Amino acid sequence: MAQDVLCEVNNCNYWEKGNKCAADSIYVVSHKGKKASNSEETDCKTFEPQV
């Protein structure tokens, strides 16, 4: 399992300096439940906007 998860979405609640993701777990899904052929057809459901 990955030890470091990188993220460039700096307005996410889990984003940390160095583009690190501080979430305990990551949930990624394909668009509309269809089989993904590439990364552009996926979404991170772990994202939470910073307040």
pLDDT tens by residue, 17-51: 999 999 999 999 998 778 999 999 999 999 999 98
pLDDT of 1 > 80? The answer is no
d(CA 37, CA 26): 20
Q: Band of the pLDDT at 8, cuts 50, 70, 90? A: very high
Q: Spell out the residues 6+ positions from residue 46 whose beta carbon is closer than 8 angstroms to its own.
A: 14, 21, 23, 25, 26, 27, 28
Instruction: Return the pLDDT at 2.
Output: 78
pTM (predicted TM-score): 0.81
Task: Give the C-alpha separation, 21 to 28, whole Å.
Answer: 13
Contacts of 45 (CB under 8 A, 6+ apart): 27, 28, 29
pLDDT of residue 3: 82
